Structures are given as structure tokens and as C-alpha cells.
Amino acid sequence: MTDLWPDVRPDAARRLMAAAVAAFGERGYHATTTRDIATAAGMSPAALYVHFPSKAAVLSAISRSGHEKALAMVTAAAAGPGDAAARMRVLVTEFVAWHARRHRVARIVQYELTALPEPDYEAVVALRRQTDAVVRSLIEDGVSSGVFRVSDIRSAARAVLSLGIDVARWYTAESKPDPETLGADYAGLVLAMLGAAGA
Amino acid sequence: MTDLWPDVRPDAARRLMAAAVAAFGERGYHATTTRDIATAAGMSPAALYVHFPSKAAVLSAISRSGHEKALAMVTAAAAGPGDAAARMRVLVTEFVAWHARRHRVARIVQYELTALPEPDYEAVVALRRQTDAVVRSLIEDGVSSGVFRVSDIRSAARAVLSLGIDVARWYTAESKPDPETLGADYAGLVLAMLGAAGA
DNA sequence: TAGCTTGCTAAGCGCTTGCTTAGGTCGTCG
DNA sequence: CGACGACCTAAGCAAGCGCTTAGCAAGCTA
């Protein structure tokens, strides 16, 4: 199911996280019990507490690593080669494709923020602000270099991120098109939205 | 707080629904208890069951009326005067403004689908399909009349709806700009995204 | 005024929840 | 071989859950 977290040890902790991703992603955090997670990972309910101090800690581990992955992806794309339009095309393609391919993780990342305990919530909000800032400055870059034409940069940045984030809400294993095609489609729409010259 | 459902009688039922909207919209359905709802409405826990057969029935009432409102809004805009671009401008402006102004109701409508009991879930999914179809046929109309230029109509329709729906996720009472301004901003972005001539 | 309906509460039932405790098994190393 | 640490389970606890029951007070009708 998930070959994420290749470095998480021991193996049982990774199996628990994978089971939690499936359950949180399908039913939501509050609708999932610790028994659901443990038995899906092939263990007794108590085994979860050998590897995690609480149910919320499992959520935090998933949410933090997902946010870090998303930020790394966006940062790398924004720092890549080419003009603002080329970099934005890569950014949207990857961001959207990730939200489709990893839609269960992405759902947890995007929609279970309020279930996080206080210190983890703050950490994750900081990561989100960084992601916002990267997208905003890429749009600013494009506008000042004459590649983009938008009236309000804040609204435009929010719209770009919204397009990607909302994919996690509706995308399922049966959805069409495949994640990469969807990403490319959306990248075209975003460039048009930003008034890119070549679009 | 909410002057929605002016026709819901008796008054106590409306107060319960308003309290449920506040709680479900802030914390989510599963994180809200029937005691939360009842005490927020100034009643004892048992009073809820005088007016609703279950907690899920309260959710259903909120979700159904919200979906009906959204569909009516979208249908009216799509059937309005002007060319496809003008009608799309009205549709997006109202759809986005509603998701901002009524963000708590909208959150329940958009993110608590899976908590609905089976018959209500089916009914609500049918309403959602109708909303999708209205937007899709408006885009088709615009493409065939030469007003819009998009490569894939399905993706474009999804993107338009995503932009509006995702507003419910992040918009709060403290957010800027006000709902109507945001709606107008987003309408401009959508017209550009659809390759509208005048944009 | 008697009897019924409507709208509510106090009390609590049966069950599930997140989590704990006590103990067992297995591989590793002195 | 014996002690230890890593990993796991059976059993269960206290708290909180959705919902029910029994009954009371106010207002309408006859």
C-alpha cells in the first residue's frame, strides 16, 4: 500500500503508520479507533502504545512528514531552472500529482489539522506558512518579470494552492485521469489563470 | 449567528441546528457530542431527541439544505442573462462568496459527506452530480460559442468547483478580503483560466 | 375543570473509547 | 546457562458516548 517512510524503524511502527494512513484517510481521525489501526496492522490494541505514546502522536507523525514532503517538493520546484512560468508548471504538476497519488496521506495533511495536539499544530502551521510564501514569491517573481499578469497576488497564490489541495478531497483509486496527467492538465489551467504569455 | 432556515419550526429545532452548524463546522461531526449541541442551544441533552431522531439526522438536515441552496444558486446563475462568460462570472462570484460567508455550513456540506447515513448520502450525492453537470454544461456552452478556450472540459469544471469549495476549508471570520470581494477576485481568475476572450 | 398534547429535564443504561497494567516470549550477549 | 531488553498480548479500567425512560409543567380544547 505505502512504501513511504523507508527509514521508520522498527518495521512494526511503519506498519502501524500505514494502517493509520488508510483509516484516517478513509474515515477521518475521530472516526478511527486505536483498535482499528492496531488490528489492521495485525496486532493487539496495546501494541500501538509500544511504538507511539498516543493516537494523536500517530497523527502527528503522519501529518509532519507529509507537510515536510510537500514543502520540500514546492521549494525544489520554485528553485528550479527556467522562467517563472516553467517553474510554476513543474510546481503545480508535482503538487497536484502528489495530492492525487497519495490522496489518503494528503487528506490527513490537509483536513485533520484541527485534531493535532498543540505543539505539533504550531509546527505544522509554520510549515504551511512557508509553503504559502514560496508560491506567493514565485508569482511575484513572474509578475515583476512580465511573465504573469494578475490583479491580486494573495488571491492568486491561494487559488493555486486550493486547486492542488482540493484534489485530495475527491480523488480516489478509481478516479481518472492518472495523477501525472491530472497534474499536467491543472498546470495548464494555472498558467492560463496567471495570465502567462505563452498560454 | 445564522438566520438560515427561517421556515424551520419549532424555534427550538432551529436553535439546535444553528448550534450544530457551529460545532460541526468548527470541530467536525465526529468530534462533536450531542451534549455539545444541546447545551449550546440552551437545553438538556435529551431535548435534542424530541426534535431529531439521532445526531446523524441533524447532520442530514444541515447537509441537505446546504446542498439544495448551493445547487439552486448555481442553477440560477447558469440560466441567467448574458453570454457564457457573464454567467460564469456570476456563478463563481456567488458560489465563492457563499463558501466564505457561510463557511461553517459549507464545511459541513463539503467535508462531512462520509458521516451521512446511507439514504441521505445517496440523495446528497445526486444533488452534487447535478451541480457538477450545470458547471460542465456552462463551460461546454462557452467553448462551443467561442467564448472559452479549454483543453479538457472535465478538468476545467472540477477546477472551477474546487476553487469555490476549498474556500470553506481556510476562510474564517477574520479572513480578508470580505466574501463578495473574494468572489469577484476568483471570478476574474476563473475567466482567465477558461481562456475567456475579454480577460 | 378535566384531559390531552407539546416541549422539556433528571437520571441513567449499555456500550465503546483511549489507554494501562501485568505478564509472557524470544533473541542476544556476558 | 542465565539475565536482560525488545516486543507483544490478555485483560480490563475510568471516562465519555449516543440514546432511552419516566415524569413534570404549561397551554389548548371541550
pLDDT at B90: 97
Percentage above 90 pLDDT, chain A: 89
Residue B92 has pLDDT above 90, yes or no: yes
pLDDT at B3: 60
Residue A9 has pLDDT above 80, yes or no: no
Percentage above 70 pLDDT, chain B: 94
| Contact yes or no for B111/B124 (Cβ under 8 A) | no
What's the rounded mean pLDDT across residues A187-195? 95
Tens digit of each residue's pLDDT (9 = 90 or more) over A111-162: 999 999 989 999 999 999 999 999 999 999 999 999 999 999 999 999 999 9
Half-sphere exposure of A24 (CA within 13 A, CB side): 31
> How many Cβ pairs closer than 8 A exist between chain A and B?
84
Cα of A115 vs its chain's centroid, Å: 17
CA to C1' distance (Å), from B47 to D22: 14
CA to C1' distance (Å), from A8 to C30: 30
Cα of B74 vs its chain's centroid, Å: 10
d(CA A173, CA A186): 19
Chain A residues in contact with chain B using a Cβ-Cβ cutoff of 8 Å: 26-28, 30-31, 110-111, 114-115, 150-152, 155-156, 158-159, 162-163, 165-167, 169-170, 177, 182, 185-186, 188-190, 192-195, 199
State whether A151 and B27 contact (CB < 8 Å). Answer: no
d(CA B100, CA A99): 23
Residue B4 has pLDDT above 90, yes or no: no
Candidate from A4-13, A18-27, B2-11, B56-65 with smallest mean pLDDT: B2-11
Three-state SS across A74-142? HHHHHCCCCCHHHHHHHHHHHHHHHHHHCHHHHHHHHHCHHHCCHHHHHHHHHHHHHHHHHHHHHHHHH
What is the grid cell recorded at A10?
Answer: 522498527
Tens digit of each residue's pLDDT (9 = 90 or more) over B127-168: 999 999 999 999 999 999 999 999 999 999 999 999 999 999
Return the residue matching grid coordinates 419550526: B9
Q: What mean pLDDT value characterizes chain A?
A: 93
pLDDT at A31: 96
d(CA A89, nearest CA chain B) in Å: 14
Tell me the pLDDT band of A1, cut-offs 50, 70 and 90: very low
Residue A197 has pLDDT above 90, yes or no: no
The separation between the first and the last C-alpha atoms of chain A, rounded to the nearest angstrom, is: 38
| Contact yes or no for B159/B165 (Cβ under 8 A) | no
CA to C1' distance (Å), from B39 to D27: 25
Q: Where are the alpha helices (DSSP H) in chain B?
A: 11-27, 34-40, 48-51, 55-78, 84-101, 103-111, 118-144, 153-165, 167-170, 179-193
pTM: 0.91
Residue B93 has pLDDT above 80, yes or no: yes
Return the residue matching grid coordinates 463539503: B110
State whether B185 and A28 contact (CB < 8 Å). Answer: no
Site from A88, A152, A161 to mutate, B interface, most B CB atoms within 10 angstroms: A152
Tens digit of each residue's pLDDT (9 = 90 or more) over A64-95: 999 999 999 999 999 999 999 999 999 999 99
| Contact yes or no for B44/B35 (Cβ under 8 A) | no
What is the grid cell recorded at B147?
Answer: 467564448
CA to C1' distance (Å), from B4 to C8: 24
B106 contacts in chain A (CB < 8 Å): none
- In eight-state DSSP terms, residue B42 is T
Tens digit of each residue's pLDDT (9 = 90 or more) over A47-71: 999 999 999 999 999 999 999 999 9
B190 contacts in chain A (CB < 8 Å): 193
B186 contacts in chain A (CB < 8 Å): 155, 159
d(CA A191, CA A181): 16
